[in-house]
Amino acid sequence: MSAITLSVIVITKNEARNIEDCLKSVAFADEWVVLDGGSSDNTCEIAQAFGARVVRSENWPGFGRQKNRALAQARGEWVLSIDADERVSAELAASIGSAVQNAPAGASAVAAYELSRLSRFCGQWMLHGNWYPDHVLRLFRRESARFSDDLVHERLLPQGEVGRLNGHLLHETMPNLDDALGKMNRYTTGRAIDLVRRGKRGGLASAVSHAMWTFVRGYIFRRGFLDGHLGFVLAWYNAESTYYRYLKMWLLTREPNE
């Protein structure tokens, strides 16, 4: 068996509408590992037909631990972690290929690379505001990083220098408002639990103040207004997410009758 230079890992659940396009965008990799969390659609069959190795794991531990489970299945020297609703652009694919093929060895070698993520919200690419530029750590040496154990918004924890690659990671997220609102509820709950476990506390005043700042930062200071009407909608959506996150933290920790 030839050496595996680059593994792609994807965690999934009911991603039949996304998984094929996701995997096609990383067809240049040497192996594809799909860790499925109990899909009831044909996500696994589509992934297998593409050539991915599908591993089933229905006991959901949160995003961080699930991604570490997927990482444990990878065999490449390098690992690219992407979500099913993300696609690697042609420019980014070339940057990744060059980075892993020409990577120097030694203590000073880069351990991980940030990718620039460009997200689509309700059908529009968002080029300003809190979502852009969005630099995410996704490409790394397999033996030099792991994911945090957070339920949501997990972080890659590399041991070594971090670089940045050219090209966009295209994020086909939240195609409609129903998806956006459902994701807000799930993610604010998970994030609130993560933060409370770290000893953080929320409150009504902090929920309101942080939400206001999130809106002003995204819409005014990061020029979300340049994205038109949906720029305002996204800034308001981000503010609401912040509000509910702090409110849920307060409700998780408040004393009776407080």
What are 26-82's pLDDT values in tens digits?
A: 999 999 999 999 999 999 999 999 999 999 998 999 999 999 999 999 999 999 999
C-alpha distance from residue 204 to each of 49, 198, 214, 250, 258 (Å): 50, 19, 15, 7, 11
Domain range spanning residue 228? 177-253
Same domain for 104 and 184? no
Distance CA 90, CA 73 (A): 26
Average pLDDT estimate for 96-114: 85
Same domain for 127 and 13? yes
Whether 149 maps to a domain, the answer reads: yes
- The predicted-structure confidence for 111-166, as pLDDT tens digits, reads as follows 999 999 999 999 999 999 999 999 999 999 999 999 999 999 999 999 999 999 99
Distance CA 171, CA 157 (A): 22
CATH number (domain holding residue 20) = 3.90.550.10
Same domain for 220 and 121? no
- pLDDT attached to residue 2: 60
Same domain for 67 and 163? yes
Which one-letter DSSP state was computed for residue 18? T
Determine the angle formed by the axes of helices 204-216 and 228-253, rounding to 10 degrees: 160
Enter the pTM of the model: 0.94
Whether 1 maps to a domain, the answer reads: no
Same domain for 41 and 161? yes
Domains identified in the chain, total number: 2
Distance CA 27, CA 122 (A): 27
The answer to whether 255 touches 166, Cβ cutoff 8 Å, is no
- The predicted-structure confidence for 169-222, as pLDDT tens digits, reads as follows 999 999 999 999 999 999 999 999 999 999 999 999 999 999 999 999 999 999
- Domain end residue (candidates: 113, 137, 171): 171
- Domain end residue (candidates: 121, 137, 171): 171
